[in-house]
Amino acid sequence: MIVYFSGTGNSKYVAERLAAATNETAVSIEGLSADITLNDGERFGLVVPTYFWELPAIVREFLDKLTIKNAVGHYIYFVATYGTTSGCIGEDAKRMFKSRGIELNGLFGVKMPDNWTPVFDLSDPEKVAGQNAAAENYINKAAELILKCENGHFMANKAPFFISKLTGALYEKERRARKFYVEDSCIGCGLCAEKCPSQAIEMKEKKPVWTKECTLCLRCLHCCPKFAIQYGNGKTKQHGQYTNPNVKV
């Protein structure tokens, strides 16, 4: 079984590729029960994006409740997708699994287009296609090791865990969702509210309003049919919208 969270499709794509390689099923974390029982010989994988060098809030909430009744004797692995640096996410995941009494056997990273467009520019389709093509090597390598149930921390670009104190604080601040704004091109379709995994958007007078802190996946920004949602310093407009081209978000 492969559980994934994916804001804009990268992690979903990786989960589906690994599911095909291992002949197992990929399921979204959204609405999923955290009480898991594995079949004989079944592996358990968790595939998620890196946010501020750490786990997304929605994934932390899931891990806080996770029970795998028969984890012992099964291969348990974690995969982070990331754009530039996976930072402390591996260590973070290891600790959270451990707090639930589960030992992580394998940790992997897959470098992909960086959907944090307040900083990164995804407006050049050729460049983005190149980044997605390069990700195939990471996925193939992870699939090979997962098939062999190989033990080890195989992620690149790790950072010492103490740094997560700083990056964690930054994430908590950003995910208050105060920096979103909506341009006049909004047609009031409500798709952003419908697709939000944190139910953080309400439609008021046909315009989205952020009513609570969120996971900050940027799905609302990247999926708006009018590209009317922007974030922060205005760079998001010039940096373009992105969803993984191989899956439906």
| Site map (CB under 6 A) of ligand FMN, residues 144-163, x = contact | --------------------
User: Rounded CA gap, 202 and 84, in Å?
Assistant: 32
Hey, what amino acid is at 61? E
Task: Answer yes or no whether residue 116 interacts with ligand FMN by CB under 6 A.
Answer: yes
**Under 8 Å CB-to-CB from 150, ≥6 apart: which residues?**
106
Task: Answer yes or no whether residue 177 interacts with ligand SF4 by CB under 6 A.
Answer: yes
201 binds, among ligand SF4, ligand FMN, none (CB under 5 to 8 A by kind): ligand SF4
Nearest to 179 by CA among 225, 223, 222, 214: 214
Instruction: Decide: 57 and 89 in contact? Cβ < 8 Å.
Output: no
Q: Nearest 5°: CA angle at 137, between 134 and 139?
A: 110
Task: Answer yes or no whether residue 85 interacts with ligand FMN by CB under 6 A.
Answer: yes
Tell me how many residues contact ligand FMN (CB under 6 A). 28
| Site map (CB under 6 A) of ligand SF4, residues 201-230, x = contact | x------x-x---xxxxxxx---xxx-xx-
**Under 8 Å CB-to-CB from 195, ≥6 apart: which residues?**
219, 220, 223, 249
115 binds, among ligand FMN, ligand SF4, none (CB under 5 to 8 A by kind): ligand FMN
Task: Answer yes or no whether residue 57 interacts with ligand SF4 by CB under 6 A.
Answer: no
Instruction: Decide: 139 and 28 in contact? Cβ < 8 Å.
Output: no
Within residues 170-199, the interface with ligand FMN by CB under 6 A covers: none
Nearer to ligand SF4, 60 or 153 (CB): 60
Q: Which of 1, 9, 182, 241 binds ligand FMN (CB under 6 A)?
A: 9
Nearer to ligand SF4, 141 or 176 (CB): 176
* Shortest reach from residue 37's CB to ligand FMN, in Å: 26
Task: Give CA 199 to chain center in angstroms.
Answer: 17
User: Rounded CA gap, 232 and 248, in Å?
Assistant: 27
Q: What is the Cβ-side half-sphere exposure of residue 142, based on CA atoms within 13 angstroms?
A: 31
Q: Site residues (CB under 6 A) for ligand SF4?
A: 7, 177, 182, 186-192, 196-198, 200-201, 208, 210, 214-220, 224-226, 228-229
Binding site for ligand FMN (CB under 6 A): 6-12, 49-53, 81-87, 112-116, 216-218, 244
